[in-house]
Structure 1
Amino acid sequence: MTSLFLRNLFFTILQPGVVAGLVPYFIIRDKISEILSLPFAWFHFLGILIFAIGLFITLHCITRFAIDGKGTLSPADPTKKLVIRGLYKYTRNPMYVGVMLILIGEAIFFASFRLLMYSGIVFSAFTLFVIYFEEPRLKRDFGEEYAEYRKRVRRWI
């Protein structure tokens, strides 16, 4: 169990941490102190709310991968069982939805058009990755179980 926790921690920092943390930091680092010195406005609170919802969703999904799937979020260390509980009952890709909400929350909080454009690029990359890599792998790994799940649950929301 410790090994699974450490692997999930590593891949969480490596994947969503880089996509939703490190890269956005580099995109807006020159404006962070300026933005944080301004008084809070309504859009700051909205950005925090959307970010928090996205973070909750992402952490929930990582937990489901570990508990239900006995694996991690990484394609390098995938789940051994198909995860269909929790938010996975409503969308096949809630973790990507969570990361997108984190990015949109950041873009709103920092009033950053560059972060918003980056979010669009990330969503496009997620979509291509899901369609051309993840879905074929899930079909190969889980066969009919995944086919039935795919019929019942939408790709996004």
Structure 2
Amino acid sequence: MVISETSATPPATPRFRRGSTLGYTYFALQAAAGALWWLAVFSSAWVREMTLGGLDPVALALLDIPLFVAASGLAAARIRPARWVVTLWAALVTAGLACYATVTGEASWGVLLMLTATTGSLAASLLVTHGRLPTEWIFNGPFAFHTARPAGTLRHLGRTGRQIVVFWGLCLGVIPLLITFLERRWGLAIAVPLALTTAGIALFLIASALGIWSAVTMSTRGEGTPLPAAMPHRLVVAGPYRYVRNPMAVAGIAQGVAVGLSAGSWLVVIYALCGSLVWNWVIRPREEADLEARFGNEYRDYRDRVFCWVPRSRFTPA
């Protein structure tokens, strides 16, 4: 079965203007926030210690005020090169503070603030340049949408199993371990009650069971795998897909939250919730457009009967 092209068409002028306006507004707010932060740094020893540790605030201000605060203001005033100057500077400061915080255990909140500023500056720069976030860039190479190569059920199950090992190992193992280590090294960890840790372990087991059930159903009924690079040939409405349209996404997000709870890491919980936003706003619309293009009324009927996130009564084909 051939998948129709899903690459985005150039945005309409009104959309471009709305996106650009949002980007310029962000830079204006960032300039104001940066100026207020520097005022707080020089007027409050507590703010200075929490965000800069033992670093010399005067030396940093001589660089950061023109390259971050002033550049954000210039970007808001539509000076084109300024937006990339502030984005690059924010990324460099984030990397530098992260190294400093890891070595000394200081300036941890400064790292989080600058990581947020880097992400926001990059998003605002893309909005100003393209009028939108060009999320279609993600769906290239190994992440492009393709149906799975014809194969037997056991082969599809084998591919799905390998995907689970790789993605669960990376997203639920390696990355959370790194986040937890940095959280503790930076002095950001908080005490978590034993009951919450136990609840996290229980939630992880339940979510993992849902994820495996969903993956097996996708492979056996859909003749493919859960990944976009080897999508099923058939629309799957069996198993957990009778109750919710995206049970693997629900399972993955719940697993991430569960790992954070069981490890006592609030940053891992934030990481999982941010992943849910990326999936919902970036991946899901693309995936649903592809499903509608391939399965037409069959998918539209299923979409109208079964919710995306909240389970409901069992789906019955019309």
- 2:45 maps to which residue? none
CA distance in 2, matches of 1:74, 1:63: 13
How far did residue 13 of structure 1 move?
Answer: 2.4
1:107-122 equivalent positions in 2, closer than 5 A: 107-122=260-275
CA distance in 1, matches of 2:174, 2:294: 32
The residue type equivalent to 2:199 in the other structure is L
Could you tell me which runs of 5 or more consecutive residues in structure 2 were left unpaired when the two chains were aligned: 1-152, 185-192, 311-318
* Residue 170 (structure 2) pairs with residue 44 (structure 1): no
Residues 157, 220 of structure 2: 8 Å contact kept: no
* Residue 169 (structure 2) pairs with residue 22 (structure 1): no
Aligned partner of 2:282 among 129, 149, 153: 129
CA distance in 2, matches of 1:102, 1:11: 16
Can you list the C-alpha shifts for 1:15-41, whole angstroms capped at 9, x where unaligned?
Answer: 34422222212211465xxxxxxxx92
CA distance in 1, matches of 2:284, 2:212: 23
- 2:75 maps to which residue? none
Aligned partner of 1:138 among 291, 301, 305: 291
Query: Between Structure 1 and Structure 2, whose CA radius of gyration is higher?
Result: 2
The residue type equivalent to 1:19 in the other structure is C
Could you tell me which runs of 5 or more consecutive residues in structure 1 were left unpaired when the two chains were aligned: 32-39
CA distance in 1, matches of 2:308, 2:177: 29
How far did residue 46 of structure 1 move?
Answer: 0.5
- 1:4 maps to which residue? 156
| Greater Cα offset, 102-111 or 52-61 | 102-111
CA distance in 2, matches of 1:59, 1:94: 10
The residue type equivalent to 1:104 in the other structure is V
The residue type equivalent to 2:226 in the other structure is L
Can you list the C-alpha shifts for 1:94-141, whole angstroms capped at 9, x where unaligned?
Answer: 100001111111111112111011011100111023433110011011
Q: CA RMSD, aligned part only? A: 1.8
* Residue 245 (structure 2) pairs with residue 87 (structure 1): no
Residues 12, 73 of structure 1: 8 Å contact kept: no
Structure having greater relative contact order (Cα 8 Å, sep ≥ 6): 1
Q: Kindly tell me: are residues 84 and 17 of structure 1, through their superposed partners in 2, closer, same or farther at Cα, counting changes over 3 Å?
A: farther
- How many residues align? The count is 150
- 2:22 maps to which residue? none
2:236 is paired with a residue of what secondary structure?
coil
The residue type equivalent to 1:6 in the other structure is G
CA distance in 1, matches of 2:177, 2:274: 16
The residue type equivalent to 1:4 in the other structure is H
- 1:67 maps to which residue? 220
* TM-score, normalised via structure 2 length: 0.45
1:68 is paired with a residue of what secondary structure?
helix
- 1:35 maps to which residue? none
CA distance in 2, matches of 1:28, 1:21: 11
* Residue 308 (structure 2) pairs with residue 155 (structure 1): yes
How far did residue 67 of structure 1 move?
Answer: 0.9
Structure 1 stretches (4+) deviating beyond 2 angstroms? 13-22, 129-132
CA distance in 1, matches of 2:218, 2:282: 18
Identity of aligned residues (%): 26
